[in-house]
Structure formats: structure tokens, C-alpha cells
Chain A
């Protein structure tokens, strides 16, 4: 009972926060909001921690039902929460990072007139995200799934006076919706196949199916469309860079740490379905790898600090999908966790920089900030080292685990993945050096204005930096004398897939050391190159209209994918709309309808001339009529 109550309390706090803030949006003073909104998340976090401490991974997963949501005969969708290691891990990430970012936002949004509105949306987001990860069946996950999409929409377009931001928000929502349709269809196929949408029932049934079952392939592919939308994979990734229009804490929380990882969570949650569909796994692997490489490539050529991080997020999400496709569910979840730490930190650091520069986001106008903002610099550096995969920071371990699995799966996959991770190191160090080292390249007014952010913003940075640095310890592999804690913790969730999956022979330690060494050497070389190029030689700071090589042009313009979509999807659709309305609707269908009316009128107009007014003619016709009637009477 006690347990039950705590489970319901976790999402209840943010919901309460949202409702209170939403209702009193004009009357609640800022100071109260500044305590209330993070406070609610803190309460959630505490509840989660209590749940976590009282939870033992070996205990069976628990389902807590709140009420019956939709029930018609066999279709029974309870509003129920599932508590198992996977959801607890996600809960910890969401509430933990959510809390830190809420605290940070208090400082970041201090001057904003929409302070209350911002925090009500943020609380609503955390609530939705909690539903997403806690749901005990697909529809409840879908509530959260669409809910976070809505919050993302509201927060990207938070500064709604600017139509460009609004367009970005709309784009994010619509692209997510395309994925959501896939998710919906996936759910329907699950229901028609298993006659239930409950995780436990579905997974239990699926366990008995043969690998390669076409229905399972269909289900997993449809669900993956949803995941591709939410987690910004090819072909539905273009919304995420635009989503940087939102306030920076939003980018950190929603578009880096939590919401965009929903796709990974969903695949990990449905691991048994995926492990039984090798075809889908191959699709996921190719998509993930392609996305990882493509986004990393684009990131190299971007100059907007947040856009670089956005492409980096897309790229890292691609890695997670690569990990999933290689069957490394724990590895993917591990990387998801560490990524949440260091990417949130990167965004918050970027926010701190933007804050200090009064809204400037172009890294060409930054530089030399390490003196002015030492705390931001140090934490940002920690995150950069972590994401680049340099030991002993967290990113190294999680990325290494995925790379090792990829090598087991196919050495070719490993080669590409390493190429991506070299690019990651390059653009991240480029970002770091251009922003923090060298001389300040902005205006004098801005130089005078430079300042370290207040404590309310730097303390979250420090907390996240600690997590990003030591986060790797939660799943330290045996190779380094660790106990692979996360692996052990998540074991019950992935056990069934583990027994189904074909066991590749684990790599011998020597090979592992070798692969690691090669990767690490490459990463360090990249860092050095970036340092040489951007700090020592000050290259790559071309103005917008400078002549560029072909590769630079393509990368700068994001490989023209947005233009391509405009050409292939948006324009034809608009043309079709015009065609339907102006030609089919007005000139064809409506004309037929009106035509029937005017036909009657025209017939009447023609036929009325028979009424000549000549009585003799009438009588003649009358008699003719009588004769005809008689005649036909005889005939019939």
C-alpha cells in the first residue's frame, strides 16, 4: 500500500505543480513559483529515491493500477504504472535531471515575463515524461508520448511573438505526429495480434513466437517509426535543430536529456519484440548509423552553439539505436544515462554562455570566455571530454560498450561507428576551443558585460559535471575491475531477450583493449587537430558569405534536407490542396451539384414555350394525347 502511494505520488507532484501554476498564472508571485516548481520536482525525485532504495532488482516488476481508462470487451486499457528496473532508471534520470534543470531555469528565466507560464509547462512536461516511462501498457505510454510532444511544442514556441520560433514548434509537433501515427498503427497491430496492449501480456505471448515472424517485424517497424519521430532519426530528425528556438533549459531537458530518448526507452522496453525481428534490427542499425554519421558531419560545419549541440544529440541518439540494433540494450540505456548527464550539462553551459553574452549564439563571436566564466568553462570542458569518449569520464565507458557490441555484430559497423565518434570529438573540441579559448571576438559592449552566471545556475552545472565525470562508474565493466552495476540492475528486464538472442562469443580482453586503444588514439588526435586549427591557427571563422568548398557548403546548409522536404513533401501537398479546392471542389463536385439545380431551371425555361397560349393547339395536343393513350392501351 505504502509502495502504491509512492508510485502515484511521483507523477502527482508535477501535475499538481502544473495545475496550481496554470490556475494562478497571473497571481502567483515569482518567488513562490521559484520554490514551487522545482520543489514539486524535488518531491518527485525524493519519492523516486525512496522507491529506488526500497526496490530490489530481483523482485518481480509491479503493476499499480489507478483506474480503468478505456474498456470495451477484450480491449481493456487500465491507467496503470509499471515499476521495474528500467522504469526506475528512467524515473531517476527524469526527476533527477529535471530537478537540476528546474533550479537552473530559475536563474535563467529570471527576467522573462512568462516566468509562471514557463514553469507550468515545465512541470507539465515532467508529468508527461513520467507517464511515458511509468506506463504499464502502450496506450499509457502513448499519453506521455504525445504529452511530451505537446509540451515540446509549447516550450519551443515559448516566445510566441516570433513566428520563426512558432514555425519551429509546429514543425516539431507535426514531425512527431508523423511518428505517432506509426506508433498508433503499431499499437493496433499489437492488439490485433495479442489481443492486449499490456506489456506483460504482450511480451509473454511474444516470447513464444519464432524469430523473424513477419507480424512482429511489422509491429516493430511501425513502433520504430514512432521512435524515429520522437528520437529524431532519419528521416524525421529535422525538427530537432529547429527546436533550439526554445529557451536553453528546455533544450537541455527536453531536447537532450529526456524526451528525445523516449524512442530508445520504447525500443528497450519492447526488447523482446525487437530481438525477435532481425529485419527490423537491421533497419534500426542502418538508420541509427546513418543518422549518427550524417548529424556529426553537419555539426562540424555549424556555427550556432545550440545547433551544434542539437546535431550532436541527434548523432548520439543514432549511437544508441546502433547499440539497440546490436542487442546491447543495457549499453544503449547506459549511454542514454551518461548522455543525459553530459548533454544536459553542455546545454546548460551553452545557456550560461548565451546568458552572459546577452543572447548571442554564434560561436564566431565568442572566444576567450574561460577567464570570464571559469566555472562554466570547467564544467563545459568536463562534458566535452565526456562526450568525446576520453577515459575516465562517463562517455568513454558507455560509448565503448556500444562500440564493442557493434564490433561483435559486424566489424564494418564498428568502423563506421568509430568514424562517427572521431567526428564527434572534432566538432566538440572545435566548439570548446572556439567558445572558450583565444581572444574574445564580440563587440566591446559585450565584453564589458561578460560575467559568470549566478550560483543558482552554476551549482546545477557543477552537479551535472560531477555526474558526467563519474557517471561511468554505475556500469563500470569488468575489464576495468568494475561490477557492471547497471547491467546487473537491468538484467530482469532484458533477461528474456538475452536468452533468445544468438550469443556472439564475447571478445577476448586483448581485442577489447586494442579496439579501445585505436579509438582513443583517434579521438585524442582529433582533439589535437581541433586545437591546432581553431586555437593555434584561428581557422574556420569565415563570415557567412565567404567562398567555401563543396563539402563545407553542403555541411553548412544541413545537406539541404530541409529544402528537399520542402520540395518533395510540403510544396506538392500545398499544390494538391490548391488543386483539390480550386479544381476538384469548386470546378467539379460543386459544379455538378449546382449543375443539377441549373439543369432543372434550364429545362423549365425550354419546356415552358410549349405553353403557346393558343387554345386550338392545346386542344389538338389533348386529343392527340387521348388517341395515344388509347393506342398504347390497345398495344399493351
Chain B
């Protein structure tokens, strides 16, 4: 608690923004589906951290409760996402998203 509040809020903001941008960049430039999923996780976690930080900053527990929600949803999402990726790999022997362009038009 003390460590969290000892660091000024602006640090969190800058850090989380950088983390989020790394996630975005990863999503945009990576071709491997697995890595894209990881980048999405990175973005989610940057938000989580920011929510926790603001929760401490404003003394409002709601933010931290929200974080738990997001973690649950993210876990479910990763589970399904990974399952899909595995299935895709089984059928196409590839997880390159540029190859996976059959669902179009």
C-alpha cells in the first residue's frame, strides 16, 4: 500500500501507456496468433495496473474489484483463445494469421 502510494500517479500513467502501446504494437505487427494473444494480455494487464493505481489514489475499492472481474474474464478469454488456436493448428498446421484468411467476403 505504501509503496503504491509513494510513487506519484503520473509514473503509473506513463508506465501503463508504454505497456499498452507495446501491446498494441505487438498486436499490429506480429503474425503469430499466439504472440498476438500475449500482446492482448499485455494491454489488459496495463489497464488492470492503472485501475489498481487509481483505486489506491482515490481510495475507492471499486477499481480493484473491477480488476478481479477483468482477470476472470481475461482468463476465460485466454482459455478459449488458446483452444481455438490449438484447433486451428491441428487443421492447418500453422498459426500464422496471414495464412488464416479464409473467412472473407
Contact surface of A with B, Cβ cutoff 8 Å? 608-609, 611-616, 619-620, 623
Contacts and interface: CB of A to CB of B under 8 A. Distances in A.
Interface in B19-35: 24, 27-28, 31, 33
Interface of B: 24, 27-28, 31, 33, 36, 97-98, 100-105
Contacts of B27: 619, 623
A301 B31 CA distance: 102
A614 B105 contact: no
B98 A623 contact: no
Grouping DSSP codes into helix (H, G, I), strand (E, B) and loop, the B interface class, with mixed when no group exceeds half, is loop
Nearest to B100: A615
Contacts of B98: 614, 616
B97 A615 contact: yes
11 contacts: A612-B101, A613-B102, A613-B105, A614-B97, A614-B98, A615-B33, A615-B97, A615-B101, A619-B27, A620-B28, A623-B27
Contacts of B33: 615
Nearest to B30: A616
Contact of A613 (B24, B28, B31, B104): B104
Given A609-B105, A611-B105, A616 B97 contact: yes
Contacts of A616: 28, 31, 97-98
Contacts of A623: 24, 27-28
A56 B101 CA distance: 106
A10 B100 CA distance: 96
Nearest to B24: A623
Nearest to A609: B105
Contacts of A620: 28
Contacts of B105: 608-609, 611, 613
Given A612-B101, A616-B97, A623-B24, 13 more contacts: A608-B105, A609-B105, A611-B104, A611-B105, A612-B104, A613-B101, A613-B103, A614-B97, A614-B101, A615-B36, A615-B100, A616-B31, A623-B28
B36 to A, nearest CB: 8
B19 to A, nearest CB: 16
Nearest to B103: A613
Nearest to B102: A613
A2 to B, nearest CB: 93
Nearest to B39: A619
A619 B28 contact: yes
B92 to A, nearest CB: 13
Of all A-B residue pairs in the complex, the 4 with the closest CB atoms, nearest first, are A613-B104, A613-B101, A615-B97, A614-B101
A615 B105 CA distance: 13
Nearest to A615: B97
Nearest to A614: B101
Contacts of A611: 104-105
A615 B84 CA distance: 14
Interface-central residue, B33, B102, B104, by most chain A CB under 10 Å: B104
Contacts of B100: 613, 615
Nearest to B105: A608
Contacts of A614: 97-98, 101, 104
Contacts of A613: 100-105
A611 B100 CA distance: 13
Contacts of B97: 614-616
B104 to A, nearest CB: 3
A87 to B, nearest CB: 84
Nearest to A608: B105
A234 to B, nearest CB: 73
A302 B102 CA distance: 88
Nearest to A620: B28
Contacts of A609: 105
A608 B33 CA distance: 24
